[in-house]
Structure 1
Amino acid sequence: MKNRSIILALALSIGLLTASCNHDDDGNGGETIVPLTGKWEISKIGTTSGGTETLTDAPQNQSGCNKDYMELKIDNTVIEGDYDSTLAPCSFTTDSGIYSRSHNNLTRAIDGVTTVQDIVNLTIHELKLKDASGNIEVYVR
């Protein structure tokens, strides 16, 4: 009787250990769990050439104005805000459309133009996107 109790306890322990250590990944296919939704201000732009990234401060951010942004909403709508001083100081316009995420790709469709970019980096504070031509956009929250 004592041997059966020991064998049963050992079998249960091995079963629990196997179940708790069965999967090393979190089941999300290698994607980050940081939410993509939110308001992202453009910070830097750049290119990749020969494997080397070159980033500069985003020239579309007008001095003295708020930063241009992209807001990704939970209902898969996107709003792009643009501050431009060409006609009037810090004139503000928005364009809206839809977006989707498939694995590590972000696709936006705004005013009939579809943009597909790879999500290179996504943290709580930074979103780095790169298109097929090697153009890079870095956004911050």
Structure 2
Amino acid sequence: MLLSVDELTSFWVGFFLLIIVMLTKLEKTMKKTGTLFLLTLILVTIFASCTKDDSGPVDMNYIEGKWNFNKSTATSGAFTIPYSTDYFKNEDGCNKDYIELNAGGNAKYGNYTTACAFEEKTGTWTQSGNTITIAVSGTSFNGTFNVASLSATDLLLKIDGTYSGQSGTFNLYFKK
């Protein structure tokens, strides 16, 4: 059974606290520099092992289906912030906007506008490796996206570019 990122983080925090208690007891017999060196080594090991790698291969078998828009973020440098535009957010009190990727390369984009008025546009999509290209006329949901993460229930699409004069990554999160 694989552990989630939260479970792994909790494990490592508990492990780290145990090491601190042990080091505190050993501190009476060890020199302060030895303790600091060991503590630094443990911290580096913990944080290096918890890094998530989004650049690896993604199982694209789950890509087809209806994906409900969940949220968007923008990442620049070490900062990730919530980000929304008129087209990349759900209207309060309405069903969620979605993108539906069907067999044969057909795509549907469902958008709930003000007062929950529904509009659906159709287009196409293609896949090459971990990249999908979506073309839906009459919407801003067009382009080439890196599929950074994909499971039976979650999809993360990333677009690298320049936003408001800053280079970064635009992240779109979807749920089935």
Q: How much does 1:34 deviate?
A: 3.3
TM-score (norm 1): 0.69
Question: What is the aligned partner in structure 2 of residue 37 from structure 1?
Answer: 64
Question: Which of structures 1 and 2 has the bigger CA Rg?
Answer: 1
Question: What is the aligned partner in structure 2 of residue 104 from structure 1?
Answer: 130
Q: 3-state DSSP class of the match of 2:100?
A: strand
Name whichever structure is richer in strand by fraction. 1
Give 5+ residue unaligned stretches, structure 1: 1-28
Q: Which moved more, 1:49-58 or 1:116-125?
A: 49-58
Question: What is the aligned partner in structure 1 of residue 106 from structure 2?
Answer: 77
Aligned-partner Cα distance in 1 for 2:137–2:127 = 19
Question: What is the aligned partner in structure 1 of residue 30 from structure 2?
Answer: none
Are 1:125 and 2:172 matched, yes or no?
A: no
Aligned-partner Cα distance in 1 for 2:57–2:73 = 26
Q: How much does 1:53 deviate?
A: 3.1
Question: What is the aligned partner in structure 2 of residue 14 from structure 1?
Answer: none
Q: Per the alignment, do residues 33 and 81 of structure 1 end up closer, same or farther by CA in structure 2, a change over 3 Å counting?
A: closer
Q: Per the alignment, do residues 127 and 109 of structure 1 end up closer, same or farther by CA in structure 2, a change over 3 Å counting?
A: same
Q: 3-state DSSP class of the match of 1:62?
A: coil
Q: Report the identity percentage.
A: 28
Contact 2:57 2:130 (8 Å CA) reproduced: no
Question: What is the aligned partner in structure 2 of residue 13 from structure 1?
Answer: none
Question: What is the aligned partner in structure 2 of residue 116 from structure 1?
Answer: 144
Are 1:135 and 2:170 matched, yes or no?
A: yes
Give 5+ residue unaligned stretches, structure 2: 1-55, 162-168
Higher relative contact order structure (alpha carbons within 8 Å, sequence separation ≥ 6): 1
Misfit runs of 4+, over 2 Å: 51-60
Are 1:62 and 2:88 matched, yes or no?
A: no
Write the letter of the residue equivalent to 1:78. Answer: A
Structure 1, residues 51-83: CA drift from partner, whole Å, max 9, x if none?
443346886211111000000001111100000
Number of residue equivalences? 110
Q: How much does 1:95 deviate?
A: 1.1
Contact 1:43 1:57 (8 Å CA) reproduced: no
Aligned-partner Cα distance in 2 for 1:97–1:132 = 23
Q: How much does 1:37 deviate?
A: 0.4
Aligned Cα root-mean-square deviation (Å) = 2.3
